[in-house]
Amino acid sequence: MQWSESDETSSVITQTYPVIPSSGNTQLRVFSGIPDCSYRFSTNLKARESFTLQGLDMYYSGSVATSNGTFTLSYTIESLTTGCTELQDGTQELYEATAHTLFLRPAHAITKHWYADDVQKSNRSQSFVRTLANLLATTRVVWTEEGSGNVVLDMPARNHDLYELVTGHYNVQVGEQPLTNVSLRAGGVYALIVAQSRDSFVSRMFEVTEPNSMNVLWLVPQYVVMTLGEVMFSVTGLEFSYAQSPPSMKSVLQACWLLTVAFGNIIVVVVAELKFFDSQASEFFLFAGLMFVDMLIFMVMAYFYIPYDEQRQYDAECHPCN
């Protein structure tokens, strides 16, 4: 049997896979956009009922089990810094298969901002970034490419949408004032918190999803080896099925050879869709083992095979005519 590899490969290290909230689970992240202020959260989360956010900070709950599709989060917020804004307690419905994020910005207007987050990596080897600004609504946040100086994002401070940007280095400024420079890596999902502390602007970048740890160019030698194997195996197999078959069955036997590709693809689909293994690497080891067994069978068959010489057979059949 012959297997044709799918486009998915194991080039991405397992540790950098995003943790996607699945059915029956939800996620919670809390970002604080309040510099110089510390807050203690008390919640009904079993894993961690209390946590503290200090200045520009983030909390991540991990996977939280839901009941009947939701988890009702109850929380109280206590200010630990004198003179900082007191935040109201509350409840929030967290839905399964969804990553929920709370952004604290107790200045100028809305004090708490909830949104559904997207933690999946870019499928184009780019990066996602979201700007969480605790600034006046009329303030503009501008992203420019460090090398070319081209403006890639120019948005109001209350725009918290997720944007896909090419990897590289960027300068971020608030209005006309330079703020910070950041580096975006392929596969990363980032959140940039921006706030005002006394007479200056401050920021902090967080990785919501860890970027890829291996360059996509490592796929090149793999595809070269796969292509060479395909050329040596598939082409020679078609030639063999044509040359060793009788004239009346050449098309049929060539079709039978191509049918082995279909059987191989069926095995790949069954193993991948039924998810026999938690790790994709284990699937590939299974396919490699099957190919090794397949190779042994081919070796035995080739050892005992008697080649068919079409010309000699033709001469033998026509000899009486001479």
In whole angstroms, give the CA distance from residue 161 to residue 143: 14
Distance (Å) of CA 278 to CA 55, 187, 297: 39, 21, 29
Distance (Å) of CA 249 to CA 234, 241, 309: 19, 10, 15
In whole angstroms, give the CA distance from residue 138 to residue 195: 14
pLDDT of residue 15: 67
pLDDT of residue 111: 61
pTM (2 d.p.): 0.70
- Please write the tens of the pLDDT for every residue from 260-304: 888 888 988 888 888 788 777 888 899 889 989 988 998 999 899
Which residues lie across from 74 on neighbouring strands? 91
pLDDT of residue 238: 86
In whole angstroms, give the CA distance from residue 194 to residue 160: 11
pLDDT of residue 316: 61
Q: How far is CA 305 from the centre of its chain?
A: 48
Q: Which residue shows structure tokens 């400024």?
A: 173
pLDDT of residue 193: 96
- Please write the tens of the pLDDT for every residue from 31-65: 999 999 999 999 998 767 899 999 999 999 999 99
Give the alpha-carbon dihedral of 43, 89, 99, 110, to 10 degrees: -160
pLDDT of residue 315: 61
pLDDT of residue 6: 39
Which residues lie across from 150 on neighbouring strands? none
Give the alpha-carbon dihedral of 72, 78, 84, 87, to 10 degrees: 30
Enumerate residues 6+ apart whose C-beta is below 8 A from 20.
119, 120
pLDDT of residue 320: 56
Which residues of the chain carry a pLDDT beneath 50?
1-12, 108-109
Q: Domains in the chain, please, with CATH?
A: 18-117 (2.60.40), 119-213 (2.60.40.1120), 216-318 (no CATH)
